[in-house]
């Protein structure tokens, strides 16, 4: 698993300004990516991060990198709890909610749009997208924005700036471990 790929796709999460990030990892063997995840988790866990495969396909794995402490805070929001409850999540803590998300991803069927809650998106925007992904949004960036447009735009600017800065630092020789806040 490429450190450069992690930095490029997950910089705001590595920096501690975003709850979670997703990225697609193309694989040649299941054994290789499982080993890489185990190695990464050894040092990432010490820095408050966790990396898990959400969905495994023949040629790729959908990877979720997240900060459990931030996810715990995000999932305590009453609207987030309501959204997850309506979708059959057990609500027994963030670890259980991630396990429920993995189950939903692997069952197939409709994509679980509540995944935005696991990425740090505002629950009101996640709900807006669930209700109608094609209408009613006011802006689009890292997610479709249905409310608090200025706050979302500020977050988008922070994420873009962080990604650019992390990319620059990585290219100048900083290691992945050095970049994790």
Contact 99, 80 (CB under 8 A): no
Q: Which residue(s) pair with 21 in the sheet?
A: 65
Residue 108 pLDDT more than 90? no
Rounded mean pLDDT, 14-21 = 98
Residue 15 structural domain: 3-179
Question: For residue 15, what are the contacts with CB-CB under 8 A and spacing of at least 6?
Answer: 162, 166, 179, 181
Contact 6, 43 (CB under 8 A): no
Tens digit of pLDDT for each residue in 160-178? 999 999 999 999 999 999 9
pTM to 2 decimal places? 0.94
> pLDDT band for position 35 (50/70/90)?
confident
- Rounded distance between C-alpha atoms, residue 72 and residue 138, angstroms: 28
Tens digit of pLDDT for each residue in 117-162? 999 999 999 999 999 999 999 999 999 999 999 999 999 999 999 9
Tens digit of pLDDT for each residue in 38-59? 999 999 999 999 999 999 888 8
Percentage, residues of the chain above pLDDT 70: 99
Residue 72 pLDDT more than 80? yes
Domain count, the chain: 1
Q: From start to end of 3-84, where are the E strands?
A: 20-26, 50-56, 60-66
**Residue pointed to by tokens 């057990």:** 90
**What is the pLDDT at residue 28?**
81
Residue 30 pLDDT more than 80? no
**What is the pLDDT at residue 29?**
77
Residue 2 pLDDT more than 90? no
Provide the angle, in degrees to the nearest 10, between the axes of the packed helices 3-14 and 149-171.
Answer: 140
Among candidate residues 141, 134, 98, 147, the one with its CA nearest the CA of residue 118: 98
């Amino acid at each position: 698993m490429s450190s450069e790929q992690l930095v490029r796709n997950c910089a705001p999460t590595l920096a501690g300004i975003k709850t979670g990030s997703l990225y697609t990892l193309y694989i040649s063997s299941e054994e290789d990516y499982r080993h890489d995840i185990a190695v990464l988790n050894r040092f990432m866990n010490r820095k408050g991060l966790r990396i898990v495969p959400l969905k495994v396909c023949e040629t790729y794995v959908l990877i979720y990198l997240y900060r459990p402490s931030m996810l715990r805070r995000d999932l305590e929001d009453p609207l987030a709890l309501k959204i997850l409850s309506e979708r059959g999540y057990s609500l027994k803590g963030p670890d259980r909610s991630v396990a429920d998300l993995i189950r939903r991803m692997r069952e197939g069927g409709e994509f679980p749009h509540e995944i935005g809650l696991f990425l740090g998106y505002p629950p009101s925007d996640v709900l807006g997208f669930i209700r109608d992904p094609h209408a009613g949004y006011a802006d689009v960036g890292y997610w479709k924005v249905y409310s608090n447009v200025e706050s979302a735009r500020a977050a988008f600017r922070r994420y873009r700036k962080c990604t650019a800065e992390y990319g620059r630092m990585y290219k100048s020789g900083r290691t992945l471990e050095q970049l994790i806040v």
